[in-house]
């Protein structure tokens, strides 16, 4: 979708559970049939704030491994801010143009997968910092 007015006002959070389990353990399919150009393991100390930006071209997939993180999103510059909590096993896709921030409620680890590479400045050239961080706007409400 290119027109943000067609998007929902919040990012759906999906709990991912193992697709197969037996005596050896489990296989959990996190993502399938999507072009991924970069994968990051991001650690958060309690209280850490990350992002407060958006991407014009890249979509971002977040999968929380451990801890608890608050996800703040806003579909457009004048829209409401939606607050959700990610728990271990939760998965959230953030489409291009969606403003987003992450706040660690406790020490956490998250895997972030993006559709643009980080090498050769692909990711940074598509990262636009917010002049008014979402975390500052939420504190004022």
Would you kindly state where each structural domain of the chain is located, as residue ranges? 34-140
How large is the C-alpha radius of gyration of the chain? 15
Per-residue tens of pLDDT for the chain, all 141 residues: 233 344 445 677 888 888 899 999 999 888 888 889 889 999 999 999 999 999 999 999 999 999 999 999 998 788 899 999 999 999 999 999 999 999 999 999 999 999 888 776 666 789 999 999 999 998 655
Model pTM?
A: 0.84
Burial class (CB in 10 A: 0-12, 13-18, 19+), 12: exposed
Question: Looking at domain 34-140, does it have CATH number 2.60.120.10?
Answer: yes
Residue 117 CB: number of other CB atoms within 10 A?
Answer: 13
Separation of alpha carbons 119 and 60, rounded Å: 16
């Amino acid at each position: 979708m290119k027109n943000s007015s067609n998007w929902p006002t919040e990012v759906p959070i999906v709990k991912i559970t193992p697709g197969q389990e037996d005596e050896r353990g489990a296989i959990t399919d996190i993502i399938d049939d999507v072009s991924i150009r970069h994968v990051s393991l991001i650690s958060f100390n309690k209280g850490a704030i990350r992002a407060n930006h958006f991407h014009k071209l890249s979509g971002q997939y977040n999968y929380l491994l451990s801890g608890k993180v608050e996800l703040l999103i806003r579909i457009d510059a004048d829209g409401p801010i939606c607050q959700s909590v990610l728990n271990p096993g939760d998965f959230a896709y953030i489409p291009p143009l969606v403003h987003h921030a992450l706040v660690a409620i406790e020490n956490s680890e998250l895997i972030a997968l993006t559709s643009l590479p980080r090498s050769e400045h692909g990711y940074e050239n598509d990262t636009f910092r917010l002049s008014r961080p979402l975390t500052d706007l939420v504190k004022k409400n």
